[in-house]
Structure 1
Amino acid sequence: MPAPATLHGPSSASASITRDHQEDRRPMSVPAPAPEGALLYDRRTGRLDGASAVERLAVLAMRAGARLTEPWEHRGFSLGCRILSVALTEREAMVRIDDDTRYAFPLGDGYWSVLFDPRYVYEPELERFLMNVVDVDYTFVDGGANYGLWSVLVSSRRFGSHPAIAIEASSRNAAKLRRNAEINGGRFAVRHQAIGATAGGIARLSGRKHEAFTIAGGTDATVTEEVPVMSLDSLFDDGTLRPDGRFVVKLDVEGVEVDALKGGRRMLDADSVLLCEEHGADRTHAVTRYALSLPGCREFVLDPTTGRFEEVPEPGFLDHVKTNPAYGYNVFVTKSPFWIERLRSAPPVVR
């Protein structure tokens, strides 16, 4: 099937980001019709189409399980999905989020089936930030995109129809990522590459779960493949992006965030904000420690005590934010006066 993908250089889809960035915002493509008989769940209405009796019961159970495990940040939910999957045949589930937005994943997936709970919000601090900058003309770079939920959302009308490029190291995940680009009208570009400190060469990917594949190394080599490496700055070098643009860069690269920042010095010098994951288990706050060591870099985090994006003056500030060792917390790194002001002026969370 056709896909806006590239392995080593910019695809036609990513090249269009260069031509159209901050110029003529074209209407985004609309999703293709769902295939006949597709399992389609509408989060807005709760309607489920194309499901057998067993699949319908499984979806109801996953929705209930997501709701029940919510107070414990969904611990145990993936185990429940694995148990339910024994009774299910391999099949794609498709979730309608908005009129122009669909998201596909394998039925019974222990990570994404939580979307069957219509109340669930994935990474609420990111959604809050992105909804607060709908009016801004920026290009979205989705580093470590997995199946591409954020690329799907950011390129949708509700989030401002922004151009986006999704980058994913795993070939299996990249196939799902291309699928989500396809069912949403090909409205974002896809690259199957790992993000590192320098462009070129090969990285070795390992991991047990699709949401936790990493090139950081370690003892877990259950799944391995060799992946070509790019850097954030290589998006300028190959003509995919123009340095004079405005960018929101999401980095969820499973332990190599610091390397990604090292390979994004020019990206940081541009009019950009980088959303980096700080893992709750890292009490040294390594990503923040490195970011704050860079001249001119400022960092912000959604502070649960104030409900605002607060500036992080030193790494220890995150001690009261990172309370769950199993959770990833997003910090916002920037040198840009524009993005600093947008973070500071974001309205507080209404409790």
Structure 2
Amino acid sequence: MRRCHVWNLGVEHARRIKTRDTSACGRCVSDWHRARILSTSAAMNERHLTFSGPAARLQYILLMGLFRLAVTRGLYGRFARGLGRVFGAERAVFLHEGRAPPYRIALNDGYWTRFALYRAPYEPEVARVLTAASGATPLFCDLGANKGYWTTRAAPLFEQVIAVEASAATFADLSGNARDVPNVTLHRAAIHARSGEEMRFVNTHLSHASARLEADLPAGGQDRVETVGTRAVDDLVPEGVAALIKLDVEGAEIAAIEGAARALKDGAVLIYEDHGNDPACTVSAHLLSDPDMRLYSIGTGLIPMPDVATIRACKTDAYKGYNFLAARADSELMGRIMQGFANWARSG
């Protein structure tokens, strides 16, 4: 486990974050925040690729051509794995975006080659939230970080990034992408309601989702089962810091939210996924059971989600996960993000 001791995010620092703009008039703060969002957004849109070698470049060209022929979702993975067997599993492309560290994508990975390369940009709605929150909070938490795409994208935008991943193999890829980034702290753990427990996880065969609870669904013949310790959000986020938290923990969302009670009271904003295959909108319904929570869709702007029916209507694809925001009504960080989205809309 690698730790970063550069940044002090205690209560005193949190107070400075909350009060550092008070000497300026509201208009100046708004203009500064708007300029920061626009410049950061432009930087993140600058992207180019490098390759692990000439063979990787050829494999990439062939793969992108094959993706044009894919008529079902399953073919993307088959094409990527098939070419991977021909060229070798070590071939990779490195995605460079703005000031973010390069993100390594194995060319036999059917998920990341499809969504981060072929159908780029990847989850632009999440990128908009990160840029809107940049400068408004010192801390971004990438919980269920997978191989570190959002960890590395967030590194230039926040003073500290905490990334947590449960799967040993996926954590190794996360470490490869983020271990040299000085303001990133990595933990191999499962996010849950309480720290210090042990849980059995399944690494699902052929799925980009790195791990899920074994209790939710038994392991298949080619799946791997491993035991990992748990961490609660409230033990990761310092008291008094309103963090931006991205939560992608494959079925453990409600337990993770229970472990974030204090962080949410401190003004944290949660980016979470409500999957299209869940008509009950289980995670959103749990959040809405707290009358102080406010939920927002971020797919086409920042739109309030007052009830489960409204959220269900947003989810038109049963194979897709939909990103939403959640925060308490009095969250100052949520207010800054809303201001950022409003500035974005005015800029066209």
Task: State whether TM-score is above 0.5.
Answer: yes
Matched, 1:265 2:258: no
- The question of whether the paired residues in 1 share the 8 Å contact of 2:47 and 2:95 is answered with no
Q: CA 1:234–1:133 in 2, change beyond 3 Å: closer, same or farther? A: closer
- 1: CA distance between counterparts of 2:227 and 2:278? 27
- Alpha-carbon distance, 1:110 to partner: 1.3
Partner of 1:89: 88
Which blocks of at least 5 consecutive residues in structure 2 are unaligned? 18-45
TM-score normalised according to structure 1 size: 0.79
Q: CA 1:232–1:163 in 2, change beyond 3 Å: closer, same or farther? A: same
Q: Output the amino acid matched with 2:84.
A: S
Superposition pairs for residues 314-325 of structure 1, below 5 Å?
314-325=307-318
- The question of whether the paired residues in 2 share the 8 Å contact of 1:194 and 1:230 is answered with yes
Matched, 1:247 2:250: no
TM-score normalised according to structure 2 size: 0.79
Q: Deviations over 1:245-285 (max 9, x none)?
A: 12001100001111111111111111210111111100000
Matched, 1:166 2:160: no
- 2: CA distance between counterparts of 1:343 and 1:190? 26
Q: Deviations over 1:178-214 (max 9, x none)?
A: 11112x4343010000011122221111122242421
Percent identity between matched residues is 26
- 1: CA distance between counterparts of 2:298 and 2:100? 29
Q: Deviations over 1:270-309 (max 9, x none)?
A: 1210111111100000001100112411111125xxx321
Q: Output the amino acid matched with 2:324.
A: V
- 2: CA distance between counterparts of 1:49 and 1:250? 29
SS at match of 2:128: helix
- Alpha-carbon distance, 1:95 to partner: 2.5
Greater helix fraction, Structure 1 or Structure 2: 2
- The question of whether the paired residues in 1 share the 8 Å contact of 2:146 and 2:174 is answered with yes
Q: CA 1:17–1:327 in 2, change beyond 3 Å: closer, same or farther? A: farther
Superposition pairs for residues 1-351 of structure 1, below 5 Å?
5=1, 11=3, 13=4, 16-18=7-9, 44-45=47-48, 48-53=50-55, 55-65=56-66, 76-91=75-90, 93=92, 94-114=94-114, 117=117, 120-156=120-156, 160-182=157-179, 184-206=180-202, 207-208=204-205, 209-215=207-213, 217-221=216-220, 222-235=223-236, 241-302=237-298, 307-335=300-328, 336-345=330-339, 346-347=341-342
- The question of whether the paired residues in 1 share the 8 Å contact of 2:293 and 2:326 is answered with yes
Q: CA 1:148–1:49 in 2, change beyond 3 Å: closer, same or farther? A: closer
Give aligned pairs, total: 310
Which blocks of at least 5 consecutive residues in structure 1 are unaligned? 25-42, 236-240
- The question of whether the paired residues in 1 share the 8 Å contact of 2:274 and 2:281 is answered with yes
- Alpha-carbon distance, 1:343 to partner: 4.4
Q: Deviations over 1:297-343 (max 9, x none)?
A: 1111125xxx3211111111112211111111111110143234234
Q: Deviations over 1:91-149 (max 9, x none)?
A: 15233223552112333211222367376011121111112222323301111001111
What do you get for the CA RMSD once the two structures are aligned? 3.0
SS at match of 1:324: coil
SS at match of 2:103: strand
Q: CA 1:338–1:106 in 2, change beyond 3 Å: closer, same or farther? A: same
